[in-house]
Structure 1
Amino acid sequence: MIQVEEALERVLAGFTELAPETVSLHDALGRVLAKDVKARLTQPPNDVSAMDGFAVKSADIQTVPVTLKIRGEAPAGGSYEAQLQDGEAVRIFTGGPVPLGADCIVIQENTDHDDTNVTVKQSEAPGRYIRPAGLDFSEGQIGLEKGTTLTARDLALAAAMNHPWLEVYRKPKVAILATGNEVVLPGVTPGPNQIISSNTTALMSFVRECGGEPISLGIAPDDKEALSAMAKGAEGADLLLTTGGASVGDHDLVRSVLGEQGLEIDFWRIAMRPGKPLIFGKLGRTPMIGLPGNPVSTLVCAYIFARPALWKMTGRNPDTLQIEKAVLTSDLGENDKRQDYLRARLSTNSSGQLEATPFDRQDSAMLNLLRKADCLVIRAPFAVPAAKGTEVEIIRL
């Protein structure tokens, strides 16, 4: 068995960033930028008003009240072209260009006016209520960095910078193959000694969460010919995920059957709990991660190994498992030679610290507890007993 850190290094060494593609701005949500996005214009392009009111010279309104002559309007999308003279004002609206000669805006609430004159009742300093040219961004300025996972806010900025298309990393195509005579699809009445398969559903959703495109190959029975035929559906995929069939029993056929198809195994078995019987290798040109069959083991191993691989392919930084710190709310005993990932609840104490409460039972078949868990508490091999209040490392789910 190899340690988790070495296994993760070897997994990540088997993946590279995928080639970028260009997509519409409206299809870019959740995608990862393959290059910096620079502004194609300056915003705002010139000084504009931040409020509805009157553009004036601040020197004219130092003593109030004072009455000024209205010379025209500057609406959003329009402008007042002449130079503002002493004793003059221009009616202006939010977003309207500030006329030449004006250096502040008096909001309309602080005025009385008719069609020809405005009486200003409050003084303003130079620059008041004016948004200077380039306040938001300037042409050529980097607004979004390569590697950004695009949110609605990012896309709003890209649109404002006049980008209708963005260059993003291609979504990895991930083939998912479950195995075992004992599992049937949701909705099917299980026969004697059968259970409902949750792994395919879980992994398809997991792959989408990580920015990939899942392809279900179905459930292969414990039969060499059937497994071999179904596994061929992974040709052309960027990653093959299998579940089950990776242990040491007579019916665990993944290694033997895929080995006949050319599977080159990098490693098999990791010193971790849950998830000891995990395979990593390459089937032809397709990297393959063989996950354990127990549903909790499947997802825990997916978080630890498949997620960083998918991140790397989509341009994210895979070098971190997003490890945080929390304090235990109960005692933990010493650990054996396998690294543990304990399902736990998270809370915050009165000091603002994160607290982790591992579940009493850590069975790798208990999906209900995994659903209730907020994080995984990491217990290193041969860890000494940890008392309540001890700080531990966690990975949020």
Structure 2
Amino acid sequence: MSDPTQRVLLTVEEYLDELLTTLLAGAAALDDVEDVPLAQALGRVLALPVHAAGDVPAFANSAMDGYAVLHDDLASLPATLRVVGAVPAGSSEDPAMGLGECVRIMTGAPLPSGADTVVPVEVTDGGTSTVTITEARTLGQHVRGAGEDVRAGAVVADAGVTVTGRVLGSLAAAGAATVTVRRRPVVAVAATGDELVSPGGSLVRGQIFESNGTHLAATLTELGVQVRGPVVLPDDTTGFTSGLDELADGADLVLLTGGVSVGDFDVSRIVLEESADGVFRHVRMQPGKPQGWARWHGVPVIAFPGNPVSTAISFEVFGRPVIDRLLGRAPVTGPTVAVAGTGWRSPAGRRQLVPVRLSSDETGRLVATPTHRRGSASHMVTSLAGAHALAVVAEEIDSVEPGDIVQIRSL
């Protein structure tokens, strides 16, 4: 076995490319799809585009409560017209009307075939047999045209889109009853370490509450993944190997946290190197420098460092793109720059990722402020709770001053 202290040093982009190409090249293809009712599609990733079943809106309708008129009747104001009918929302009636006539109409009701404009009730006397209109309106004003939103057959949501509540509403409006989605990948999660105790237990000297596996499992669930675990694997190689065998069986991906550094008791590195040709790197980032990957009985395994902030940030930088690739999900982008709300130091030669809280200043600028006074210290797990994003400080920068423009990646 090679000297674990002598690792290849990669940039963030180089290591991510290694995961997405070399590691996933040996993974089983996740090409399975299924049709699900719209009510069960929330959080799933579309495998095929969804097309509108018909025009949206399906018919020309009124955007206001008022009167459907012929615009020619508004050439001279005030204009008094005879009211020949009324159309509420949901009605299928189409009252006949001609010059000098109008129809009372409610918001969302279908526009009578003889009308071309809607006059809001607020600029009339509100009459029911005749109505006097006092203000002019342009031709077609307050009319929602058929297909104005989307035409029949047009793509409403493309493959790779995650079905959020907003997307779900659009799909329903377009008439989709079922959608074709990608299979949920099965991702197994394990934290390693004899020092880990389940939250709520009693601690003795040297023990800590387990949080990394809990964090990863919850985040994966939010991403629409079928999660196995989290479990805690022991620091002895026999127990670790047995537990990993069980975790990997039937999984599409295994995420490990802890035991990836160069110490004599870093069990993830020891077992994966000895039994799975594991690849361990140093990445030019802080926190999260030690990283590793392997295939366990053909199942891709990604091993993150064990300090809580290192685990969380490593997942955001490396784990999330891998999950997106497995799901065929289109990456979601958020704000990309903000103003530093305070100053902090950054390690030269390493890309720093700092949990930050986002706010706006009096000029409306987006402001990023570290959630913990220790910035990106890898063990400050409470810094994650209030974080909205990660501030990304380039490798060549060793300090950030208040007011500096910083790159951010949304959480």
TM-score, structure 2 normalization: 0.83
Please give the alpha-carbon distance, in whole angstroms, between the structure 2 residues aligned to 1:36 and 1:379: 37
Q: Deviations over 1:195-217 (max 9, x none)?
A: 11111111111212333222115
1:166 counterpart letter in structure 2: V
**SS state of the match for residue 218, structure 1?**
strand
Structure 1 window deviating more from structure 2 (384-393 vs 176-185): it is 384-393
1:368 lines up with 2:382 in the alignment: yes
Which of 345, 353, 378 matches 1:341? 353
1:157 corresponds in structure 2 to 170
8 Å Cα contact 1:221-1:227 kept in structure 2: yes
Matches for 1:299-314 after TM superposition, within 5 Å = 299-314=312-327
1:201 corresponds in structure 2 to 214
Please give the alpha-carbon distance, in whole angstroms, between the structure 1 residues aligned to 2:386 and 2:87: 58
Q: Deviations over 1:59-99 (max 9, x none)?
A: 33434555544434433333445642333333433333323
For residue 389 of structure 1, report the CA deviation from its aligned partner.
4.7
Distance 1:364 1:119, change over 3 A: closer
Distance 1:65 1:379, change over 3 A: closer
Which of 124, 141, 157 matches 1:144? 157
Which of 241, 245, 255 matches 2:255? 241
Which of 22, 27, 52 matches 2:65? 52
Structure 1 window deviating more from structure 2 (361-370 vs 168-177): it is 361-370
For residue 345 of structure 1, report the CA deviation from its aligned partner.
4.9
Please give the alpha-carbon distance, in whole angstroms, between the structure 2 residues aligned to 1:270 and 1:134: 52
Q: Deviations over 1:98-125 (max 9, x none)?
A: 23322223444514545xx313233544
1:12 lines up with 2:12 in the alignment: no
For residue 134 of structure 1, report the CA deviation from its aligned partner.
1.6
Matches for 1:129-140 after TM superposition, within 5 Å = 129-140=142-153
Distance 1:15 1:92, change over 3 A: same
Q: Percent identity?
A: 37
**SS state of the match for residue 21, structure 1?**
strand
1:97 lines up with 2:104 in the alignment: no
**SS state of the match for residue 84, structure 2?**
strand
Distance 1:200 1:70, change over 3 A: same
Matches for 1:1-397 after TM superposition, within 5 Å = 1-3=8-10, 4-13=12-21, 14-15=23-24, 18-19=30-31, 20-64=33-77, 67-81=80-94, 83-109=96-122, 110-114=124-128, 117-122=129-134, 123-232=136-245, 233-258=247-272, 262-317=275-330, 324=337, 326-327=339-340, 329-330=342-343, 332=345, 335-349=347-361, 352-357=364-369, 360-361=373-374, 362-381=376-395, 383=397, 389-397=403-411
For residue 381 of structure 1, report the CA deviation from its aligned partner.
4.4
8 Å Cα contact 2:355-2:384 kept in structure 1: yes
**SS state of the match for residue 157, structure 1?**
helix
8 Å Cα contact 2:340-2:401 kept in structure 1: no
Q: CA RMSD of the aligned region, Å?
A: 3.1
Runs of at least 5 residues in structure 2 that lack an aligned partner in the other structure: 1-7
Please give the alpha-carbon distance, in whole angstroms, between the structure 1 residues aligned to 2:206 and 2:90: 72
Distance 1:105 1:111, change over 3 A: farther
Please give the alpha-carbon distance, in whole angstroms, between the structure 1 residues aligned to 2:131 and 2:334: 63
Please give the alpha-carbon distance, in whole angstroms, between the structure 1 residues aligned to 2:74 and 2:349: 79
